[in-house]
Structure 1
Amino acid sequence: MKKWLTAIIFVLVVGALAACGSTDKKENSSDKASKTEEAKEIKIGATAGPYSDMLKKAIKPGLEEKGYKVEIVEFSDYIQPNKALNNDDIQANLFQHTIYLENFAKENKMDLTGLISVPTAPMGIYSNTYKSLDDVKNGSTITIPNDPTNSARAFNTLEAEGLIKLTENVNPLTVSEKDIKENKKDLKFQPIEAGQLPRSVESADLAAVPGNFALAAKMDLLSALALENMMDQYRNVVAVKTSNKDSQLAKDIKEVVKSADFEKIIDKDFKGFGKPEWMK
């Protein structure tokens, strides 16, 4: 009787342990599934305007097809999107070019990386005075951005259009007015704050307006007398924390941006945007 009783107790104990193990496995499996679902819920930041629209129209749908639940977070300045990214409040952002990203990250001791460049609104030379750059008269005034990065873009564009010549072998990223060796139209340069450039079209003969400010002022990119042949360093990038640059999300974002559907939407809804080298 003692042997039978011992055997019965042994069987009951083993069964109970097995049941607990099975329950633990189910709970662990459930926890993992929950974490996976949480990982699919992402936030991507952008400044309000064309790049927020690009996220909504051209990137969010592709990510949702891959199983992500995407929330677009809009910011009103160029500081908070990177702070939010660095603090993990968002998982990616789209609003800045490589030069700005690298300088901002260095100055603020953040480890951020540009994943992939996207089509970007180029700087344009606009005028209410002339219908063509061929009509520009000697001594005409042109307003240009007063910050070094965007003024360099203006001078590079003016050289590309044959209005000025720059010193040979000058760094195109840092070129300034002192690097002009020939100004055959004797253009008069008026540096002003970039946000005021769209309004300056009314008073100056010409205005070099960065694309984001032109769009914010409801200007048509295709109405410019000339559009910048933009270097890739000036094209906006999708940025992430460097620690996440090889994550599955990063791979999926790049795959969506490189897709045929993405390019179709760009061609349809973002006319005038310059495509990065990898798309050409």
Structure 2
Amino acid sequence: MSPRRQRRPSESPALIAFGRQMRRLREAKGVKQETIAHLTQVSGPQVSKIENGKKRATRSFVEFVDEYLEAGGALINLWEDLNKDGHPVPIWFDWPKIEADAAMLVTYQHSVIPGLAQTPAYALAILHGNQEAADARIERQKILKDPREDGSAPPIYVILIDEQALSRQVGTPETMREQLEHLLAVSMLPNITVQVVLGSGEHDGNMGAFVVATMADRSEVAYIETAVRPLTTDDPADLSVVARTLVSLRSRALTEEMSRELIRKVAREKWT
């Protein structure tokens, strides 16, 4: 399920409020950002982003900083106040930024080709002819090929896709054939792995699609599709469920080469 088109705010009041409080507590103790970075093993630029409201902090990070600054739980309480039902708020607007900054992305899709691997025609069909949304989706794909602003390599991208997505028609047969051929081409890129998950029987992946982003500091954020709307979370309990699901899915996945053979077969036999 694709998230509804919404105008994303350029900044989050919740993240800004947390960052300002953390900065005040740190400066009151005369502690430098570099010290927090060293002790938490989070890079200096990442700590700066947290204090400037441009990056969410994980609970483990907040707990450590709260104790080190002798905040008496004030920082933890604020972090919890800015969360709803264990999920950081806002729950949707910051995913494109997380996606662009990730060191590794692992996605599972049970019914469609993942957005970062879609062709323009497939994207346009799945988005019901919304050209603006389709163009934006294709534009996002640059993160898989272009170097980062800091010169670092594009992220590792692992695609786990249920075999039924290869046979589920989106658009015309020509659209599907082109899409599967594109998926094959994408699978040959050095930073991308495509594996088909055999769909027979029951497995945890039937519950829904998701993406897990691993950041440079090794923290994780998950984007989970639900019947109502997608949500973004770094809650440890959520990440644990996703991790267990990934273990189950990978046990059912074909190797890279066997996956390519199956994709070629479906493209040839069903969509030609």
Q: TM-score, normalised by structure 1?
A: 0.22
User: Which protein is richer in strand relative to its size?
Assistant: 1
Q: Which has the higher contact order (CA 8 A, sep 6+)?
A: 1
Q: Which structure has the bigger radius of gyration?
A: 1
Q: TM-score, normalised by structure 2?
A: 0.22
